[in-house]
A and B are shown apart, each in its own frame.
Chain A
Amino acid sequence: QQQVKQSPQSLIVQKGGISIINCAYENTAFDYFPWYQQFPGKGPALLIAIRPDVSEKKEGRFTISFNKSAKQFSLHIMDSQPGDSATYFCAAVQEGPWAGNMLTFGGGTRLMVKP
């Protein structure tokens, strides 16, 4: 049973549009929610992350929205560009000295931004 469910699996957006990727989690002990970006032939790299004490975090064109009561969070990419074409993974972490930074990943979303 996947603890973090991600949708959609693939997404096509026109240049300049808004890309939205959604994730839902089961375990209420999760307390750190990162998004990773992966380009073809590369490993994933941290893009942006949020903790549940805030409902939104913005870094440039990338925004995470977080709904603790619904156990959902989403990534919004404003003014999407062809260079944003990549696979995006949401993840969840249960922090604490014994937890070991264990990332639980969603299934990934392949984003294509058309010129």
Chain B
Amino acid sequence: DADVTQTPRNRITKTGKRIMLECSQTKGHDRMYWYRQDPGLGLQLIYYSFDVKDINKGEISDGYSVSRQAQAKFSLSLESAIPNQTALYFCATSDPSGTGNEQFFGPGTRLTVL
């Protein structure tokens, strides 16, 4: 019963396809984040949301879009996938009023774009 879940865990797709990655959380946190992880580059922020009505671009938002359907759900879409979007994608949550700066990460989605 993980607090932050991501679906799918693995996905292989072709160039030009639309892909949606989903994130759900049971932590009750308002803040949610999407990161991508590439070897040697650490985690780079794609988008973040401080509440249901708030969406902000991160450092690498080009080619991505997001939707915050509810406090517990934050989806990442690739409208037209390209091979250099092959990466590990992580969703995270935080609660500054509770656990401060700590972010809680999901298990990740491994995406391969052929």
By a beta-carbon cutoff of 8 Å, the part of chain A in contact with chain B is 2, 4, 6, 9, 32, 34, 41-46, 49, 89, 93, 95, 100-103, 105-108
Contacts and interface: CB of A to CB of B under 8 A. Distances in A.
Given A107-B41, A108-B40, 12 more contacts: A32-B101, A42-B107, A44-B105, A45-B105, A49-B102, A93-B101, A100-B31, A100-B48, A101-B31, A101-B101, A105-B44, A107-B40
B5 to A, nearest CB: 11
22 contacts: A41-B107, A42-B107, A43-B92, A43-B106, A43-B108, A44-B90, A45-B104, A46-B103, A49-B102, A89-B42, A101-B31, A101-B96, A101-B100, A102-B45, A103-B43, A103-B45, A103-B103, A105-B42, A105-B43, A107-B40, A107-B42, A108-B39
Chain B interface extent, by class: 20 to 34
Contacts of A6: 42
Contact of A106 (B42, B45, B92, B94): B42
A110 to B, nearest CB: 9
Interface in B64-102: 90, 92, 94, 96, 100-102
B101 A34 contact: yes
B101 A49 contact: yes
Interface string B37-65: 00111111100101000000000000000
Contacts of B45: 102-103
A49 B96 CA distance: 15
A43 B42 contact: no
B111 interface: no
A109 B102 CA distance: 20
Nearest to A49: B101
Nearest to B2: A43
Contacts of A102: 45, 48
